[in-house]
Structure 1
Amino acid sequence: MLLHDGQPWLGANFWSRSGGPLMWRGYDSGLIARELSVLREHGMNLTRSFFYWPDFMPEPDRVDDVMVERFADFLDRHTDAGMATVPTFIVGHMSGENWDPVWRQGRDLYGDVWMVARQAWFVERMTARFHEHPAVAGWLISNEMPIYGEPATRDTVTAWAQLMVQAVRAGGGTQPVSIGDGAWGMEVTGSDNGFSVRDLAELTDFVGPHVYRMENDVVRQHLTAAFVCELAGFSGKPVVLEEFGVTDAFVSREHAAHYYRQILHNSLLAGATGWIGWNNSDYDNLHEQDPYRHHAFEMRFGLTDVDGNPKPALREVRAFAEVIAHVDLPGCVRPDSETALVVPSYLEHAYPFTEAGDHTYVFDVLRQAFVAAREADLPVRTARERDGLPAGRKLYLVPSAKQLTAPAWRDLAGFAEDGAVVYVSYSPGNHGVQRGLWHADVNGMFGVEHRLRYGLVDPVADDEVTVSFVADLGSLSAGTTLTFRAGGNEHARSYLPVRATDAEVVAVDQHGEPVLLRRSHGAGHLVLCTFPLEGMAAALPHVNPEPTYRIYDALGAMAGVSRPVTVADPLVHSAELRHRDGRRFVWLVSQAEEELTVKPVVGGRLTDLATGEPVDEVTMHPYGVRVLSHKDS
C-alpha cells in the first residue's frame, strides 16, 4: 500500500481551472493554493500532476526554466496544504487531443533511438530537479501512452519503459514509479496494445488502471472498476485506481455521487489501495481552448465546479476518507479467499491459431461471473491459469469456458479429487473458428456422453431458459425453479446436449434437457452446467441481478465456503476486511435505486462503527454503503 503521511493515496488528477493543460503559461499560485485547500478539506492527500510536454521541453535539449520554477512553486503549495503529488513526465495526450513538442516531427516515441533518448533525458532532468522535494510522492512516466504513442510490439514498449524507469533512478528518484498507461494491456482487457501489465510490473512499483466504461447494466457498471482492479492485482504490486470519474454532460450530479461511492468502495473491496479521481475542477471558462472547444463534455469532469464549489461526488470522497481513516485501512487486509475464479490463459496469451475474440470473450464472461459471485456474497479471488492454478481452494468457478489448456483441466480434476467443488459451465465461444469446448475428455471428467455434431451448434431457441431442480444442490432444494434470459450471438447462444453416464442430473430445462450435473470425484465434486449462463448474461443489457448468483450461492454452501456475512437480497453485497489487531469490518453495498432494509445473516454480531450499538436490520439508501464492525459471538 502506498502512503502519504500514513494514509493511502486518495486524490485527484489536477489541472488548475485557470488553464487546464495550459495552466503553466498563466500560472496562478494563489488560485492553486485555494484549489488544493478545497481538495484537502474533503479528505484528499494527493494529486496527480502533469509536465505538459510542449511547454516544459520546447527544444530537444532544453527544459523551460520558467515552467520548472512554476512547478517548484506548485510543489510548495502542496506542502503548505499537507498534500503530495505524483508528477507525470511524457504528457502529449490529454482529454481528447494529442500535443507534440514541435521538434518531434513524427518520430516514433518507442523505436526511434534519438527520440527515446530525448524522453529519457527529460525524465532524468526533471527527476533530478525535484526528487528531494517532500511533496513528490511518486512518478508516472506517461499519460495514457497507448493513445499518444499508439500501440506497438510488446518487446519495444517494454524496452522503452525500462529506459524511462532507469532515467527516474538515474535522476535520483527513489519514490514509487509506474508507467501511466492505464493498465489496458492484454492481461486485463484481452486486447494487446504492447503494454503488458505482466512485463511492466517487473519494472514498476504499482499498477494504475484507468477505467471509463460505457455499459448497459447498472450493476456491471458499478463493479467493472473493481473487477479490473482484481484482474490487475495478480502481480502483487499495489493497485492504484489512477483514473476514474464522470462528466456532468453524461450523468446527473446525484448519480455521479452514486458512481463515485460505488467505485471507491467496490474497488477497495477488490484490492485497490489508492484512488485518484478525474479530475479536480470544471473548465467552463475554457470553452474556446482545445481540447475543451471540440470535446465540450471534458469541461465537466470536475469534483468542484468552475468557481471551486464542491460537487456531490467530492463529498462522497470525503465520506470515503472518513471511513478508511476510521478502520485504519493501512492495518487492514482482505481475508484469504476459499473461492477461485479461474482466469484462462487465453485472456492474455496468443496461442498459435487462436482468434482475437477468444481473448475479449474471456473478459466479458469473467466479469459477469464476478458480479454473480458478489451477489452471492462469495469472497472470490482470480486465479490465473498462466501462473499455475492454486491448490487448496474449496470452490473453483470456471464460467462459460471455451478454452483451458490440457494441463489445467487435469489440475481441476485433481482439485476435485482432493475435496474441492469444481464448477464448469459450457461455452463454444463467440465466433465460428474451432467453435466448441476445447477439452479432450469432457465425457470422462464430468461423467456424461455429449451429443454434439461436428461444425454445428445446438442453439438456445427460447428467449428464456427455465431450470428446474430435480435434486438438491447446496442451498437449492429439489423443486426450485430458476429462469434465465438467453443472450449472445449465433455462436455463443447454444448449449451442450448430454446424457448422464456417471453423473447425477441435478437440474433440467423446460425441454427436459440436463442443465446441471454433479459427479462425485474422490473427496470432492465436479459440477457441469450445459448452458453458458455467464456468457448469455454478459451479452444482455439490464440483466443483473440474474439467477446465476443462486447457483453460486448453492455451490458455496456445497463446498463449505466461509462467508462471515450474507444478505439474501442480491442487490446488497457484503464483504469483509480484517485489521491486524483482530478487528473485523463488514461492508454492505447496495445496488438498488430505492431504499432497502435488509437483515444480514452473520456468524457473530454486527455493531455500528461509530457507536458500538448492536445492529440487526440495516436500512440502505439508494446505491448506499454501510460499514459495520463484526464481532464473533
Structure 2
Amino acid sequence: MDTTTNSIFDKFVIGANYWPRNYGVDMWKQWDKDEIKKEFKEAKSLGLDVLRINLLWEDFQPHPDMISEDAIKKFDELIGICHDVDIKIVPTFFVGHMSGENFDIPWRNGKNIYNDPFMLRHEVKLVRFFAERYKDESAILFWDLSNEPDNYVKAESNHDAWLWNYVLSSEIKKHDKNHPVTLGIHQASLLSDNKFYPEDLKEGNDFLCMHAYPIYTDTCIDPVNSIRSTYIAPFASKLTKALGGKDVLFEEFGATTLMMSEEIEGKYYKTVLYSLFANESLGALAWCFGDFTVGNNLPYNTTPFETHFGITSSDGEPKLAGLEIKAFSEFINKLEYKELIPKECDAAIIVPDKYYSALFVGDDYTPERNFRILLNSFILAKQAGIDVEMVKASEKDFSKYKMLILPSAYRKGHLNHDQWMRIMDYVKSGGTLYASYDGISVDGFDELFGIETQYSIVPKGDSVSIYLEERGLKLKYDTLKFNKRLIAKPTTCSVIGYDNEGNPAVVMNKFGKGNAVLVTYPVELYLSYMPDVYKDDKTYEIYKFTEDLSRIKPKIEVESPFIEVKEFEYKGKKLVIFINHEDIDIKIDANISGKIKDLISNKEINLDNFTIKADDVVAFLM
C-alpha cells in the first residue's frame, strides 16, 4: 500500500496479543514451551502474522542491575518457536499494567519511571540489552516500549512522556537498525489529558499505535456491532495519525463474550477489520488470542470479564471472531499489498488546535468533548458517502481538499485567528466549508456565512427540532445544559432549515468562489449523547447537501448511510469494498451495475439486485 511508512511493513499486519490460556500473565514464571508452541501453531492456522508478547517487567529485570538469565533463556526458546512455526512477535517492554491490574517492580520504591534518573538509567540498560542481542533477529517484527504505560505510572507532564519515549527509542535505534520502534498507547490519549500525546511520540517512534474499545468508553453507548461502535477503531486510527503525523497500527481491539454473544462479537470483528484496512491503518492486532482458564489469578480475578476476550476458546477451538480473522487474512493474501493505492480523500475534518486543553475556557472543553464531536462528524461524513481524513487546524494549505468540516466549533481553543483566516481564504478561492456552532466567535464569521449574529443562548427545552422542508426532513436532538446555539439574522445567505421556534438553523452562503454552510446548533455534540441514534437520524443529509456544493463526485455511490465504500487503484483496476456498519441487512442501491465476483466469499453477485447482510462486507475488482 502506498503509505508514508511503505518501507516498514510489506503487508497489512494481522495478529493478536498473546498470553498462554492456562497461565496468563504468569507465562514467564510458569514456562510451558510445549503449550506455547501448540498455541502459536493455532495462531498461524488462523492466518495471524504476528503475536504481541508482553515482557512483564518484574520477570525480566527483578533488580535494577540484573537482567534475568532465566527469562532470557525462555525468550530465546520463544524465538526458536517463532522460527519453527513461521510467525513473528512484537516484544513489549516495561509491562507494569495488564488487564486492569498493576504489577509493580519491587525496586521502584515510588520513583517515577519517566523522569527519575535512576529509573531511566536502568530502563536504558534493559532495552540496550535486547537491542544489542536481537538486532538481527528476523522473528521480531518491531519493538514496543510499553503497554498503556499511563495506566501503570502517571507522567507528571507531556515533556516527561516525550523524554521517556525519545530516550528509550533512541537507545534501541542506536544499537538496532533493523527493527522499528513504537509505543502501545490507548484511547486515554485521545479521551483525556494523560500526557502521552501522539505529536510528542512521533519524534521517537517510527509509526504510532492505538488501542481502542467501544465497551470502554461512554462516547459509545450503542450495541458493539452497530455503526458508532464499528467506526470507533478506524476513527481513532485516523485521529491518532492527524495528531501525530505518522501512520498508525491498531495494536489492540476486540470484545469479550461475557458481555455479548459470540455471533455479535464475530460480526464486530469482521466490520472493524475491513474498515481499518479501508481507512489505511497499517494493521490490526486482536485482544487477545485465547480465553483464559486462570480466572482465580490476577489480573483476571478482579477483572473477570477479561477471561473471555479470546479469538479462540479455552479448549483451543476458534471462536467466530477467530474465523473472521482467518477469512480476512485469506482476503489480504489474495492481494499484492504494495500494488494497492488508496483513493485520496477529497474532504477533511478539522481537529481543534488545542486538542487537550486551552486557557480560559469552560469546564466542558475537554479532550473527551473533542473526541465526541470528531467521532460523530466522522460517522456523519461516512453516512453521506464522504471519505474523510482528519487534519490539524494548523495545516498551512487546505487546497488539496474540496470540502472542510468544522464540527461544533468552540469559542476558544478550537481555532486561532490566523487559522480561521486561512479557512476563509480557502472558501473564497473555491472551497466548501461545513461548520456547526458551539460558541465560535471570530472576525469574518458573519461575512462568511451571510448572517448577522444576534446572540447565543442555551436552548429552552430538553429537545430541539430542525426542519429542512425542501428535503422533507425533520431532525430532532436532545439538548445539553451548557452548550449554546446561535440566534442570527440572514443577510446574504439562503436559509435551508429552521428550528421549531422559527429561527434559521441551517444556512448556506456563497462566498467568493466557494460555499459555506452553517448549522446554528452543536449537532455532532448532541448526537454523541443520544443512544443508538444513527438507525433513524438523518443529520448526514446536511453533510450530503454540503458535499453536493463541493462538487465531490465519488465514482461509486451507495444510497444507504450504513455502507462504507472504499476504492483502491490496483494493477490497472479498481478494488472496491462495501462495508455494512449496522446490524441490519441492507439492500444495495448503487450507481454501478453488472455481475461481479466477491473476493471474500468467492460468490458471484449481481449488483442490480443484492443485499449485504448485517455487519457484512463485499469486495470486488472493476
- Partner SS state of residue 209, structure 2: coil
Post-superposition offset of 1:61: 0.9
Structure 2 gaps of 5+ residues are none
Equivalent in the alignment of 2:474: 483
CA separation in 1, counterparts of 2:286 and 2:185?
16
Is the CA contact 1:12–1:46 (under 8 Å) kept in the aligned structure 2?
A: yes
CA separation in 1, counterparts of 2:102 and 2:317?
30
Kindly report the root-mean-square deviation, in angstroms, between the aligned alpha carbons of the 2 structures. Answer: 2.1
CA separation in 1, counterparts of 2:539 and 2:174?
53
Deviations 1:182-210 (A, max 9, x none): 3643xx33x22221210111111111101
Structure 1 gaps of 5+ residues are 428-435, 470-477
CA separation in 2, counterparts of 1:539 and 1:293?
32
Is the CA contact 1:18–1:26 (under 8 Å) kept in the aligned structure 2?
A: no
- Partner SS state of residue 58, structure 1: coil
Post-superposition offset of 1:613: 6.7
Give 2:498's aligned amino acid: V
CA separation in 1, counterparts of 2:573 and 2:104?
52
Post-superposition offset of 1:2: 7.0
Post-superposition offset of 1:460: 5.2
CA separation in 2, counterparts of 1:6 and 1:295?
37
CA separation in 1, counterparts of 2:492 and 2:309?
58
Q: 1:440 to 1:44 in 2, by over 3 A?
A: same
Q: 1:608 to 1:170 in 2, by over 3 A?
A: closer
- Partner SS state of residue 179, structure 2: coil
Q: Does 1:511 align with 2:494?
A: no
Q: Does 1:388 align with 2:396?
A: yes
CA separation in 1, counterparts of 2:612 and 2:102?
44
Post-superposition offset of 1:82: 1.2
Deviations 1:220-251 (A, max 9, x none): 11101111001112344331101111111112
Equivalent in the alignment of 1:272: 281
Equivalent in the alignment of 2:613: 621
- Partner SS state of residue 51, structure 1: strand
Which of residues 426, 429, 435 in structure 2 aligns to 1:415? 426
Structure 1 residue ranges, 4+ long, deviating more than 6 angstroms after superposition: 2-5
Equivalent in the alignment of 1:468: 468
Which of residues 229, 243, 249 in structure 2 aligns to 1:240? 249
Q: 1:329 to 1:384 in 2, by over 3 A?
A: same
Which of residues 22, 36, 39 in structure 2 aligns to 1:32? 36
Is the CA contact 1:334–1:577 (under 8 Å) kept in the aligned structure 2?
A: yes
Deviations 1:369-407 (A, max 9, x none): 100111111111112113335223211111111232212
Deviations 1:271-330 (A, max 9, x none): 21211111111112x122111122111111111111211111001101111222223333
CA separation in 2, counterparts of 1:383 and 1:623?
29
CA separation in 1, counterparts of 2:297 and 2:462?
53
Q: 1:212-611 counterparts in 2 under 5 A? A: 212-214=213-215, 215-217=220-222, 218-234=226-242, 235-284=244-293, 286-348=294-356, 350-355=357-362, 357-360=364-367, 361-402=369-410, 403-427=414-438, 436-452=439-455, 457-459=457-459, 461=461, 463-469=463-469, 478=470, 480-492=471-483, 494-545=484-535, 546-579=537-570, 581-602=571-592, 608-609=598-599, 610=602
Post-superposition offset of 1:355: 4.5
CA separation in 1, counterparts of 2:519 and 2:153?
44
Please, which moves more after superposition, 614-623 or 207-216?
614-623
TM-score (norm 2): 0.92
Is the CA contact 1:417–1:521 (under 8 Å) kept in the aligned structure 2?
A: yes
Post-superposition offset of 1:466: 3.8
- Partner SS state of residue 566, structure 2: strand
Equivalent in the alignment of 1:75: 79
TM-score (norm 1): 0.91
Length, aligned pairs only: 603
Q: 1:159 to 1:258 in 2, by over 3 A?
A: same
Post-superposition offset of 1:357: 3.1
Is the CA contact 1:184–1:209 (under 8 Å) kept in the aligned structure 2?
A: no
CA separation in 2, counterparts of 1:386 and 1:510?
37
Q: 1:181-192 counterparts in 2 under 5 A? A: 181-182=185-186, 184-185=188-189, 188-189=190-191, 191-192=192-193
- Partner SS state of residue 113, structure 2: coil
CA separation in 1, counterparts of 2:445 and 2:524?
19
Q: 1:605 to 1:466 in 2, by over 3 A?
A: farther
Is the CA contact 1:346–1:359 (under 8 Å) kept in the aligned structure 2?
A: no
- Partner SS state of residue 565, structure 1: coil
Is the CA contact 1:183–1:208 (under 8 Å) kept in the aligned structure 2?
A: no
Post-superposition offset of 1:445: 2.2
CA separation in 2, counterparts of 1:557 and 1:443?
23
Post-superposition offset of 1:63: 1.3
Is the CA contact 1:2–1:8 (under 8 Å) kept in the aligned structure 2?
A: no
Q: Does 1:134 align with 2:129?
A: no
Equivalent in the alignment of 1:473: none
Deviations 1:379-436 (A, max 9, x none): 1111211333522321111111123221222222211111111111111xxxxxxxx3
Post-superposition offset of 1:572: 2.1
Post-superposition offset of 1:160: 1.3
Post-superposition offset of 1:591: 2.9
Is the CA contact 1:607–1:615 (under 8 Å) kept in the aligned structure 2?
A: no
Q: 1:446 to 1:172 in 2, by over 3 A?
A: closer
CA separation in 2, counterparts of 1:614 and 1:250?
37
- Partner SS state of residue 214, structure 2: coil
CA separation in 2, counterparts of 1:55 and 1:301?
24
CA separation in 1, counterparts of 2:362 and 2:500?
34
Is the CA contact 1:327–1:585 (under 8 Å) kept in the aligned structure 2?
A: no
Equivalent in the alignment of 1:431: none
Is the CA contact 2:262–2:321 (under 8 Å) kept in the aligned structure 1?
A: yes
